[in-house]
Amino acid sequence: MLSVQGVSAGYGRLEILHKVALDVAPGEIVGIIGPNGAGKSTLLKTIFGYLPPFEGTVTFENQTLQGRSPDQVMRRGIGYVAQAGGIFADMSVHENLVLGGYSLKSARAVNAAIEKIYAQFPRFRDRSRQRAGSLSGGEQRALAVARTLVISPRLIILDEPSAALSPRLIEEIYGTLADLNRSGIALLIVEQNVRRILDSAHRVVVLDMGRNAFAGSSDELRRSDRIRRLYLGEDAG
């Protein structure tokens, strides 16, 4: 459903990604891993339209995405969860969810979607009037995920959903992501926590210095000595 072909991108004139390729099939969880500075977040930002690619193509369900702004990309059915601070901190939990439905024209559709989200995340119903910025880090992340659900996305892009969370909260957020995936939503996840993403992802793409270094199933990656040494530490095995 998502296809990235030969994409080079970066900031200003600085090229960070060099002819990167990537695919996500419907219902699939694809992880992107790699060392710091490998261009993982840059790739997500390029797919979602925050950065225009220098070259290459990005298509979603056979429609071209490159050259489109993030608000146009999301209207195609893609949700985006930023690494941190992706919520509207000074607004209430409910207002955050209402804004998640900004692209829907009917207020009734937005309210119905929010009702479904409250059923799925009852703690947000209890805290609907609470300032979103006063939620814990894990809850803010969950709210950012929940906010993407208002438009019923077919793909959600997540930038390090486990960053700065305790192991318990990491399991919680990955539990939520597994539920979403079971409901048919494809996920594209950049993750530093390699072991965690290998447990969840169907396939993994390794980026190194802005280039594709490996692409395969989580099991294939676990079996590759070189990749294991580089990305899972020497003791892997």
Partner 1 sequence: MFEEILEFLILGLVLGGIYAMFAVGLTLIFGVLDIVNVAHGEFLAIGGYALYIAMVVLGLPAAVGLVVAPVAVFVLGLAVYPLLFAPLQKRLGRRAPGPLFLVLTLGLSALLQNSLLAIAGGEFLSVPPAVKGGLDLSFTYISGQRLLILAVAGASLGLLFLFLRFHRQGMAIRAVAQNPAAAQSVGIPLGRIFTLTIALACGLAGLAGALIAPLFSVYPAVGFTLTIKAFAITILGGMGNLLGALVASLIIATLEALSVIVIPSEWQNAIAFGTMILVLLVRPQGLFGKKP
- Using CB under 8 A as the binding rule, whether residue 134 contacts partner 1 is answered as no
Distances, alpha carbon 222 to alpha carbons 22, 179, 198, in Å: 19, 24, 8
168 CB-near residues (< 8 Å, 6+ apart): none
Total of chain residues touching partner 1, rule CB under 8 A:
30
Contact 150, 97 (CB under 8 A): yes
Residue from 19, 67, 103, 184 touching partner 1 (CB under 8 A): that is: 103
> How far apart are CB 80 and partner 1 at their closest, in Å?
4
Residue from 37, 71, 199, 223 touching partner 1 (CB under 8 A): that is: 71
- Using CB under 8 A as the binding rule, whether residue 52 contacts partner 1 is answered as no
Residue from 29, 33, 80, 177 touching partner 1 (CB under 8 A): that is: 80
72 in helix, strand or coil?
helix
- Using CB under 8 A as the binding rule, whether residue 12 contacts partner 1 is answered as yes
Looking at the Cβ atoms of 56 and 86, the one nearer to partner 1 is 86
191 in helix, strand or coil?
coil
62 in helix, strand or coil?
coil
Contact 187, 29 (CB under 8 A): yes
> How far apart are CB 71 and partner 1 at their closest, in Å?
5
Looking at the Cβ atoms of 39 and 86, the one nearer to partner 1 is 86
CA within 13 Å, CB half, 42: 25
- Using CB under 8 A as the binding rule, whether residue 91 contacts partner 1 is answered as yes
- Binders of partner 1 among residues 149 to 168 (CB under 8 A) are 151
Specify the amino acid at residue 23: D
Contact 56, 5 (CB under 8 A): yes
For binding to partner 1 (CB under 8 A), which residues are involved? Answer: 12, 48-50, 69-72, 74-75, 79-80, 82, 85-91, 95, 98-100, 102-103, 107, 147-148, 151
